[in-house]
Structure 1
Amino acid sequence: MTTQRPTPQLDLIGIATADMAASLAFYRRLGLDIPASADAEGHVEVTLPGGLRLAWDTEDVIRSFDPHWKSPQDGGGRIGLAFLCASPADVDATYEALVADGYRGGLKPWDAEWGQRYATVADPDGGEVSLFAPLG
């Protein structure tokens, strides 16, 4: 008889950042409660509602345990995050506020065929962040 192993559960999403303070400032604008004192840290974690953790590591911290690690050269991210907004209008307002604050807009808000108001912005390290809300 074969013993079945427990199924792994998603517990943490990690973000590699070139500038911790800039990255944390971006995610604070999206409502994450991250203390200002974390800006000077090499590793930061927050626990999200539901228990999932989001963590940031500076490139130097990553290289401290993986000396062969290289940052993405093409400007694209390997992990995309999606933030649920309160309404379609909130997608527009959040996108506009982030772009006005100097963050790079990606897809401008639009009504997606899958039934969401949807937009993308880039975090300070070029990671894609989606903003969405159900239509109607």
Structure 2
Amino acid sequence: MTVRFAVIGLAVSDLAASLAFYRRLGLVFPDGAEDQPHVEAELPGGLVLALDTEETIRSFHPGWRPPAGGGRVALAFRCDSPAEVDARYEDLVAAGHHGELKPWDAFWGQRYATVHDPDGNAVDLFAPLPAPGE
């Protein structure tokens, strides 16, 4: 039997806020997802991003508590261009999300930025920079 990585799961304190955030990044969740305790969005390549309310997790793990200090996980979204990194970052910050790291041209050859989702998870936005001379 082969084990295959299949799901990224996030515990969220406000499902509607998290859905709004990830939908702004282009993820598709079913209609009415705001009223569910567990929702999923299929990602390219077959992975799934699953969002569970803290109440849902406590329903089967009564002693569970969110990690202290926020920032439970980091996710990264590849954008089509450096300009899209800037636009996505500005859109999310304008919508009230915390911009942790403004877009910049990273020394490793990417336009890069970090914004926090409603639960304080780092969400990196990146795109390859054009090669010199392009």
TM-score using structure 2 length? 0.93
- Partner amino acid for 1:16? A
Displacement of 1:36 in angstroms is 3.6
Residue in structure 1 matched with residue 28 of structure 2 by the alignment: 33
2:118 alignment partner, SS class: coil
Displacement of 1:7 in angstroms is 4.0
- Partner amino acid for 2:38? H
Alignment identity in percent? 63
CA distance in 2, matches of 1:92, 1:35: 28
1:31 alignment partner, SS class: coil
Task: State which drifts further: 99-108 or 32-41.
Answer: 32-41
Are residue 86 (structure 1) and residue 56 (structure 2) matched? no
Are residue 74 (structure 1) and residue 66 (structure 2) matched? no
- Partner amino acid for 2:99? G
CA distance in 2, matches of 1:118, 1:7: 35
Q: Which runs of 5 or more residues in structure 2 are unaligned?
A: none
Residue in structure 2 matched with residue 126 of structure 1 by the alignment: 120
CA distance in 1, matches of 2:46, 2:92: 26
**How many pairs are equivalent?**
130
* Larger strand fraction of residues: 2
Alignment of 1:4-83 (within 5 A): 6-77=1-72, 79-83=73-77
Runs of 4+ in 1 over 4 A off after TM superposition: none
